[in-house]
Amino acid sequence: MSNQSRILLVDDEKRMCDSLRTLLEIEGYQVDALTDAEMAVDLLRSRPYDLVITDIRMPHLSGLDILKHAQQIDPHLEVILMTGYASLTSAKEAVDLGAFGYLTKPIELEELKVAIARSLDKRQIALEKESLLLQLKQANEQLERNLSEIDALYSAGTILATTIDLTEALTQIISLAIDVIGAKIGSVMILDPRKNELYIGAACGLATDIVANTSLKVGDSVAGYVALTGEPLMIQDIEKDPRFSRINRQHYESKSLLSVPLKYKGAVLGVINLNNKMASTAFDEHDLKLLNTFAAQAAIAIDRANIFADKGEKINELTILFEIARQISIIDNISKVGEIILTELGKLVSIEAVIWYSTADKGTALNMEFLHKAESFLTKAGANPPASLKVGKDDTGRDKEVDIEYVRNELLGWLGESCPATDMALELIPVRLHKLTSGIMALVTRGQLTAQALHLATVVAFQAVSVYERQKAVLTGAKLVTMGKMVSEICHDLKKPLTNLKGNVQVYKDRIPGREATEFFTSSEKELNRLKELVDELGNFANPNMYCTSRENLGEVVAKAAELLERDLQKKQIELVINQAETVPRIEINRNEILAAILNVMLNSIESMEDGGRLEVVIAPDPAGTPFVRISVIDTGHGIPESELPKVFDRYYTTRETGTGLGLAIVERVVEAHNGRVKVESRLGQGTAVTIDLPV
């Protein structure tokens, strides 16, 4: 969707405006950026947009004013507000006015990208919902037109057109045919295409039990033969007809009978039969012609009944889908999604249980979010589905597609062991967002679902996952905002006492003599410096500066990092080798941030080689041919256990006693902010290779 989405960016700071426009265009969006709020409102009136991103505080018109104009122009147009002066008052006002997002400056690119994606998803859902309602309205209008046309036919004075009930209409048709043509027994048999059988829809002159219990395979007997061939049949003497000489004739008073197919638009819908003509005479061509006329009326009645049934089913489906969408849109707990699906979708199909699995650990695992079961679904005590499924070996730093067949086999195994019923079936509905499986809805049903039912379930699953993703994003965003504020405040409060302690240590270091005192104050000063560095690092991590990029030579950045680490390399007797391919282009980066990232990676490598070794840095185009430049940092250190690899990018995770656990977390943040990717591969006792891919 991003390649087609149009975004209007409004900020009176030109640098901010240009920077965000460049970042969003790199993401593939079509961006119009303005620094004049009044011009932005004029542009909104003249061009269609999918999203507006605007600063709150601007001259003449504020971001809230733009929000109001945007909602008047397009009720489904989402607005994300930015501010450098966040407050509860402005946030509440933004939410009350219907803003989708409220971001504080400096803007975190990943947070902005997530907010944009969610807002566009929300707009798409709203447009699709509006489309469904429009389709429902059109279907109702079409049905009303059909009823009006039928009423016009009723006005023509035909008895057949005045009866909507199929049984009543067919009864009147066969009764009229019997009276006009002059027969004692008549029946209308309707074709059930699923069973390929005929059953009696209406009859005159037949016993009730015969009407209720008679069914006939297509091709069998006279009526079955007519249904198969689609051609009318007049038999003068059934005893002399070799095709039907073995038919039971206990209900026939005469040897002659008529059987005509009920055809509408070329399709056979059933058969109308007459026998036992009055005065025991034979049916003639005139009788056959009359019966063909009544057959056409009966076919119209059956087709009309099918239309009503089909429209009623469609309306019922749309009504249920609308109700599910309405209920899901106001839930406050993701677990309630399963309850809604079980209750509402269960009105259309026989659902016994709804299980929702969401992806975790970068797509390599599935965690069960909820399980809802119908009262009729009986399983062995404590036999619940697996709470977690490992769906593939972890490939740190990369998303991995879910193995649907593996999940199916696991759940089929659980279903077979826990449920004694033999008619249970399992349907898996994977929901894909951003080209990867975001979750899987598993439905336990009685019997296999039809294609239509499966389609409806898929629509519901997509509705559910959109709500789940939105709710998860809101909760995550709230947590990150809270954590960022808390970390910033703590860092700010720690700086003053650390500065005072460091000053006191420096003062008393010179006043108190003695070797032990000198060692104590030297050690204390060193630890205080380390604490200050940690506080600065935490503060920078919680409040990253706005990225200012320039086109740089990565070889020069790596050389600078090597220069800064020269003493550490000499001290540990580590051989450093830097190889740069001739075809590596200059790329757009924030030099200081990338330098810090490379320093962190190289420092980790140096720390892992206690007894010396070899550190190699390779700069070359991506071997896979993608438009990226790859920096590979390869050491011969002690390596990382395979079980620990998934944790290396986690904040505060470290294997060293003096480590902060923020090194690789900062590396990942910096690389992702450059739209790059980072990966760690390691073998215990053999070394580690860290690859950083940055876009050209």
Same domain, 357 and 477: yes
Contact assessment for residue 257 and residue 203, using Cβ atoms and an 8 Å cutoff: no
Domain count, the chain: 4
Residue 144 lies in a domain: no
**Which comes out higher in pLDDT, residue 17 or 291?**
17
Separation in Å, CA 670 to CA 308, 544, 667: 61, 10, 5
pLDDT of 196 higher than 80 = yes
Mean pLDDT lowest among 7-11, 58-62, 318-322:
318-322
Q: Residue 135 and residue 475: Cα distance in Å, rounded?
A: 34
pLDDT of 286 higher than 90 = no
Under DSSP, the state recorded for 485 is H
**Could you please report the per-residue DSSP string of 98-158?**
T-SEEEESSPPHHHHHHHHHHHHHHHHHHHHHHHHHHHHHHHHHHHHHHHHHHHHHHHTT-
Q: Residue 280 and residue 183: Cα distance in Å, rounded?
A: 9
Q: What is the predicted pLDDT for the residue at 394?
A: 45
Residue 201 lies in a domain: yes
pLDDT of 526 higher than 70 = yes
Q: What is the predicted pLDDT for the residue at 538?
A: 66
Nearest to 617 by CA among 592, 639, 595, 586: 595
Query: What tokens were used for 182?
Result: 């002059």
Residue-range definition of the domain harbouring residue 286: 157-312
Q: What is the pLDDT of residues 620-636, one digit of tens each?
A: 998 888 889 999 999 99
Which of 75, 106, 121 is the C-terminal boundary of a domain? 121
Residue pointed to by tokens 């009318």: 232
Map residue 645 onto helix, strand or coil: helix
Q: What is the predicted pLDDT for the residue at 364?
A: 65
Which of 250, 282, 312 is the C-terminal boundary of a domain? 312
The confidence band for 304, taking pLDDT boundaries of 50, 70 and 90, is: confident
pLDDT of 320 higher than 80 = no
Tell me: cis bond preceding 193? Omega within 30 of 0 counts.
no
Same domain, 112 and 65: yes
Q: What is the predicted pLDDT for the residue at 448?
A: 77
Residue 274 lies in a domain: yes
Same domain, 401 and 499: yes
Same domain, 112 and 187: no
**Which comes out higher in pLDDT, residue 403 or 156?**
403
Q: Residue 130 and residue 515: Cα distance in Å, rounded?
A: 81
Q: Residue 102 and residue 109: Cα distance in Å, rounded?
A: 14
Residue 319 lies in a domain: no
CB neighbours of 323 closer than 8 A, spacing ≥ 6?
344
Q: Residue 269 and residue 565: Cα distance in Å, rounded?
A: 86
Q: What is the CATH number of the domain that holds 688?
A: 3.30.565.10
Q: What is the predicted pLDDT for the residue at 307?
A: 73
Q: What is the pLDDT of residues 37-88, one digit of tens each?
A: 889 889 999 989 988 999 888 888 888 888 888 888 888 888 998 888 777 7
Q: Residue 680 and residue 617: Cα distance in Å, rounded?
A: 14
Same domain, 568 and 540: no
Q: What is the CATH number of the domain that holds 375?
A: 3.30.450.40
Separation in Å, CA 485 to CA 7, 58, 140, 356, 538: 29, 25, 53, 34, 12
CB neighbours of 451 closer than 8 A, spacing ≥ 6?
none
CB neighbours of 189 closer than 8 A, spacing ≥ 6?
198, 199, 200, 201, 216, 223, 227, 270, 271, 272, 273
pLDDT of 419 higher than 50 = yes
**Could you please report the per-residue DSSP string of 325-378?**
HHHHTT-SSTTHHHHHHHHHGGGTS-EEEEEEEEEETTTTEEEEEEEEE-TT--
SS3 helix, strand, coil % of the chain, rounded to 5?
50, 25, 30
Phi, psi of 690 (to 5 degrees): -110, 125
The confidence band for 145, taking pLDDT boundaries of 50, 70 and 90, is: very low
Query: What tokens were used for 296?
Result: 């056409």
Same domain, 561 and 531: no
Q: Residue 597 and residue 187: Cα distance in Å, rounded?
A: 86
Q: Quote the distance between the C-alpha of residue 641 and its chain's center.
A: 35
Query: What tokens were used for 599?
Result: 């320093």
Under DSSP, the state recorded for 385 is P
Contact assessment for residue 396 and residue 649, using Cβ atoms and an 8 Å cutoff: yes
Q: What is the pLDDT of residues 359-391, one digit of tens each?
A: 765 556 788 888 888 877 777 766 788 888 876
Q: What is the CATH number of the domain that holds 99?
A: 3.40.50.2300
Same domain, 405 and 522: yes
Q: Say how many C-beta atoms besides its own lie within 10 A of residue 52's C-beta.
A: 28
Phi, psi of 447 (to 5 degrees): 85, 165
Residue 445 lies in a domain: yes
CB neighbours of 610 closer than 8 A, spacing ≥ 6?
572, 638
Q: Quote the distance between the C-alpha of residue 53 and its chain's center.
A: 24
Q: What is the predicted pLDDT for the residue at 519?
A: 80
Which of 544, 566, 585 is the C-terminal boundary of a domain? 544
Under DSSP, the state recorded for 384 is P
Contact assessment for residue 318 and residue 136, using Cβ atoms and an 8 Å cutoff: yes
Phi, psi of 667 (to 5 degrees): -55, -50
Q: Average model confidence (pLDDT) for the chain?
A: 79
Same domain, 536 and 612: no
Contact assessment for residue 306 and residue 190, using Cβ atoms and an 8 Å cutoff: no
Residue 145 lies in a domain: no
Say which amino acid occupies 419. C
Same domain, 239 and 95: no
Phi, psi of 381 (to 5 degrees): -55, 130
| Region 593-612 average pLDDT | 88
Q: What is the predicted pLDDT for the residue at 268?
A: 87
Residue pointed to by tokens 């699995």: 357
Q: Residue 394 and residue 644: Cα distance in Å, rounded?
A: 11
The confidence band for 152, taking pLDDT boundaries of 50, 70 and 90, is: very low
Mean pLDDT lowest among 20-34, 246-260, 432-446, 553-567:
246-260
Same domain, 372 and 505: yes
Residue 598 lies in a domain: yes
Separation in Å, CA 233 to CA 88, 227, 297: 84, 10, 18
Same domain, 181 and 253: yes
Residue 504 lies in a domain: yes
The top-scoring range by mean pLDDT among 111-115, 249-253, 289-293, 346-350 is 111-115
Q: What is the pLDDT of residues 16-28, one digit of tens each?
A: 888 888 988 888 8
| Region 300-321 average pLDDT | 73
Map residue 314 onto helix, strand or coil: helix
Mean pLDDT lowest among 121-135, 145-159, 259-273, 405-419:
145-159
The confidence band for 356, taking pLDDT boundaries of 50, 70 and 90, is: confident
Same domain, 40 and 78: yes
> pTM for the whole thing?
0.36
| Region 516-521 average pLDDT | 79
Say which amino acid occupies 506. Q
Q: Residue 662 and residue 659: Cα distance in Å, rounded?
A: 8
Q: How would you classify the pairing of strands 6-10 and 51-55?
A: parallel
129 bridge partner residues? none
Query: What tokens were used for 316?
Result: 């019922």
Number of H helices, E strands in the chain: 17, 23
Q: Say how many C-beta atoms besides its own lie within 10 A of residue 424's C-beta.
A: 19
Q: Percentage of the chain surpassing pLDDT 70?
A: 82
Phi, psi of 431 (to 5 degrees): -115, 120
Q: What is the predicted pLDDT for the residue at 148?
A: 38
Under DSSP, the state recorded for 248 is -
Q: Residue 376 and residue 692: Cα distance in Å, rounded?
A: 54
Q: What is the predicted pLDDT for the residue at 450?
A: 75
